[in-house]
Amino acid sequence: MDPTGLDLPPLAAAFVFGLLGGAHCIGMCGGIMSALTFAVPPSMRSPARLSGLLLGYNLGRIASYMVAGALVAGLGTLVALTPQARLALQVLAAVMLILMALYIADWWKGLLRVEALGRRLWTHLEPLGRRLMPVVRVPQAVALGAVWGWLPCGLVYSMLAWSLAIAEPWRGAALMGAFGLGTLPALLATGLAARQLGTLIRHPATRSIAALSIIGFALWQLWTPLPLSAGH
């Protein structure tokens, strides 16, 4: 039995969603990743040091995702007091996943409007991140990642809506952790590997297949609680 109470398929799906959203992650966080590298004096840019800084940054970022997932799922425990409310949360989660799919496939960018929800909080957090620059030590990188994890992001908000529907803090944290791990390859890849990964993720066929898969998963998630599924 999974100790988190969340079985493998949803965790695997969250990981894949993070992987497929890698192109968006590069656009949102690629600049800070580059800044982490170039802020280190040339004489100190050993592979081990740079790897430690990048891993530390992403550790902090994913930790923030997990904290947000636990908080939102905790809120879900207060909201989902009736079967009707829980159904409404599941519908919201499915809709957000579909919006994520439309964004990944580049069919509709409406998900970007959702990012405006977090801009007010970000105006207070961004100065904290700037004070940590330049980053030359791993603890600094972890702290910066923890701040940057709250950067307004429609893909993250889609996953948080899913955490809200789960309505269990530990499960919400696990879900967001799996999503965060899925974003790692795109942000850690460098050189030829980054170009190859970026080309694959941005290919229209890859995006379309990914979008259809996410939409199918969202509909499957939605189908379970619907009355129509009772007879199947």
Could you report the per-residue pLDDT of 47-106, keeping only the tens digit for each?
Answer: 888 888 888 989 999 999 999 999 999 999 888 778 888 888 888 888 988 998 898 888
Helices 154-166 & 83-104, crossing angle to 10 degrees?
160
CB 144, CB 59: distance < 8 Å? no
Residue 64 lies in a domain: yes
Residue 231 lies in a domain: no
pTM of the model: 0.82
Residue 208 lies in a domain: yes
Can you say whether the dihedral through the CA atoms of 182, 186, 192, 195 is positive or negative?
positive
Residue 122 lies in a domain: yes
Residue 182 lies in a domain: yes
Residue 147 lies in a domain: yes
Phi, psi values for residue 7, rounded to 5°: -70, 170
Q: Which domain holds residue 136?
A: 10-222
Is 196 a residue whose pLDDT tops 50?
yes
Separation in Å, CA 227 to CA 87, 222, 232 = 11, 11, 10
pLDDT tens digits along 121-170: 888 888 888 888 778 889 998 999 999 899 888 889 989 998 998 889 99
List the one residue out of 118, 94, 95, 99 whose CA is nearest residue 21. 99
CB 21, CB 4: distance < 8 Å? no
Query: What domain count does the chain have?
Result: 1
Is 229 a residue whose pLDDT tops 80?
no
pLDDT tens digits along 20-59: 776 666 656 666 666 666 777 777 777 888 888 888 989 9
Residue 227: asked if its preceding bond is cis (omega within 30°), the reply is: no
